[in-house]
């Protein structure tokens, strides 16, 4: 069956003298540099980006559907109000990125670095966020139910009142995190080091309580 050719998307350049860049759906881009440009308010479907750079790029209100970004650099980029559906961001760098009011629906974010990113009003619905680095981010009050966070690094994060019900937190790092009032019921918590973690007012189920006691060295007989 012949694929329907999608319309070309033109990117308005922020830098003077640069030629317009064309983005096509269902296209692969390798080691392309999109730094300091404006790529706002467009939709990209089923394209692949390998080792591309979007540093300080304006991507406001962009939509990606079933796109694959592998080892791409989004540091200090602007992704405010962007929407991403069934897209992959494998080992991508989002340090210092603005993700205010962005939506990630059933996305695969494995290994992404979000240190220093603005996650205000970020919405995460489903997906795999294993081994993501959230260090020192504010996720207080977020609804993070049913999401895979295996091995994720929440060191020093504000997780007060955060809802992790039915999520996979296996092996996650919670050291120095503030988790008072968070809800961990029915979440997978095996492999978490609970030493030096203040569990006051944290919502747990009975099975989790046993796992925590064992992780602290107690013998349950």
Q: Each residue's pLDDT tens digit in the chain (221 positions)?
A: 344 434 444 444 444 455 555 678 999 999 999 999 999 889 999 999 999 999 999 999 999 999 999 999 999 999 999 999 999 999 999 999 999 999 999 999 999 999 999 999 999 999 999 999 999 999 999 999 999 999 999 999 999 999 999 999 999 999 999 999 999 999 999 999 998 899 999 999 989 988 898 887 756 66
Characterize 55-80 residue by residue with b for buried, 16 or more Cβ atoms within 10 angstroms of its Cβ, and e for exposed.
bbbbbbbbbbbbbbbeebbbbbbbbb
Per DSSP, 208 falls in state H
Residue 158 · residue 135 · CB < 8 Å: no
Q: Where are the domains of the chain?
A: 23-150, 179-221
138 contact partners, CB below 8 Å, separation of at least 6:
119, 120, 157, 158
Which CATH superfamily groups domain 23-150? E3 ubiquitin-protein ligase SopA (2.160.20.80)
Q: What are phi and psi of 30, to 5 degrees?
A: -120, 125
């Amino acid at each position: 069956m012949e694929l329907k050719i999608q319309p070309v998307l033109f990117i308005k350049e922020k830098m003077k003298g640069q030629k317009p860049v064309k983005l096509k759906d269902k296209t692969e881009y390798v080691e392309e540099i999109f730094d300091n440009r404006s790529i706002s308010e467009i939709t990209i479907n089923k394209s692949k980006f390998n080792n591309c750079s979007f540093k300080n790029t304006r991507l406001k209100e962009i939509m990606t559907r079933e796109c694959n970004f592998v080892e791409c650099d989004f540091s200090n980029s602007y992704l405010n109000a962007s929407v991403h559906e069934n897209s992959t961001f494998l080992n991508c760098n989002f340090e210092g990125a603005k993700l205010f009011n962005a939506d990630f629906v059933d996305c695969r974010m494995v290994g992404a670095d979000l240190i220093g990113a603005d996650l205000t009003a970020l919405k995460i619905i489903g997906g795999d966020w294993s081994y993501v680095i959230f260090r020192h981010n504010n996720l207080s009050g977020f609804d993070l139910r049913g999401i895979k966070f295996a091995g994720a690094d929440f060191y020093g994060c504000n997780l007060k009142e955060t809802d992790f019900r039915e999520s996979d937190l296996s092996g996650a790092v919670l050291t120095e995190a503030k988790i008072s009032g968070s809800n961990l019921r029915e979440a997978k918590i095996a492999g978490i080091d609970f030493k030096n973690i203040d569990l006051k007012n944290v919502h747990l189920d009975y099975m989790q309580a046993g796992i925590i006691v064992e992780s602290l060295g107690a013998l349950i007989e």
